[in-house]
Structure 1
């Protein structure tokens, strides 16, 4: 893999890390927009299999063969640069975006609204044409469900280790499911601020429990999602599209603390301008990614032709 592509994956990881810290934006959406989503899902599935085979085979003396084979299937050339970029992205977002959400909530949500709205074009284009009636129905149902979920009022829950473990297991699903924001789920149950505080203050006890919950959540969820993408790809993408559209409710700039939606009010021009900027950023990312894929496909075709011609 070329150095430029590795750097690109680090930057993609940074964007995913930032997204995971922002309520309303899904890291899975950013992964989908930047073209690394399916390789991430496949790699996560192989890692889960590695652990499963290691736990079952090694104690029985069957060796490392099956686990080692799964480990070699991981797209390390993508996963490692993404992880390198995700950590600083998450830390930077935790420091900078939290005060922006507190001091300029409407403008910040406007920017995020534009980002997420433009990203919905990615799963739609992946489905292609024609859309079947069942897929349209799945999109609508998923959109309504996401709309209702993102309208739930804030809750306040004590950050007991068991609660943190369960919340992390659920929230981490958002890392691999476009349209669902892990930070937003934490915000809904009242654990967003304690988690951000733990990140900023390096509360290793809290973070260790949270990390354990993430591992449990990924182990339970990622294999199901991988199976759905392999066997029901179009329907799964249709549901993802509906979830992304429905979750835009959480990013509507004009809403109360109880998440009641209001008509456009103050700062309309600045909010609309920021939404357009957000949409333009995602559109540029999508165009750049498609050009990269076309260039890679062209290079592969030329390489295949040259190899065949020499022979």
Structure 2
């Protein structure tokens, strides 16, 4: 069936939205330059005969919506969370009938365009991601938005498109980024440690993450299809990884292309891949990393930020360098 056959230019080219599967209601961006910042509610979407369309707006809603999610904790009505292009976060209760709009990011600490919103164990626990460069890209609140905490930690400066918490282990959180899926096992830390988690994927843009009732995880990519995996109660083992990752250093991290790799531990044969921020592999080699190693690199690359991925038999880590 056709939900919307209008010829007007409402919404975005890739239009954000969210489905309330309990009530069969779809919420989408319906904004236009002429009419302002709007949300469209499509109710009764199972059949053409029950379909109704309603436009939602509020005086406080003064920026274009870029991310939606429906709370899984409210099932007899819709509680809708909306993020905007300028970092505003709204909680809209009774969105299925007479909406009540509440802005829940009044501190203005979130800077950038919101790419994803997810609700955790309750509606007080909210995860937000940003897909701009040069800003804190992961935000979290456990008090319904009264205060927000940045959770970027050691993550390289790159757009983050989506976020998902393991329902079996609250410390494990995964994100979809410009360069694949990354994860942390210590999300509650003031500075979480993020690591890349390819598991068969390449350095491809991951636009969305979702989890099924059986804890199967799906990662939707840009142009490379959909990948799947499983959440488990046991966290990914990072203890040994931490030891080796912390033993390897690159310096200087800002140069004209010359840097040195040093190691305080023996880790053996290690694959070294260097990627541009666009995900292109621009350099690769193998290095036998022994304790006390000083391996010099001299790269002839265009100025910009690059990610150096090091992968051995029992560890994997990613470092960041900038070539001027």
Q: Same fold (TM over 0.5)?
A: no
For CA contacts below 8 A with separation 6 or more, give which structure has more relative contact order: 1
Q: Could you say which structure has the higher strand fraction?
A: 2
TM-score (norm 1): 0.22
TM-score (norm 2): 0.21
Q: Could you say which structure has the higher helix fraction?
A: 1
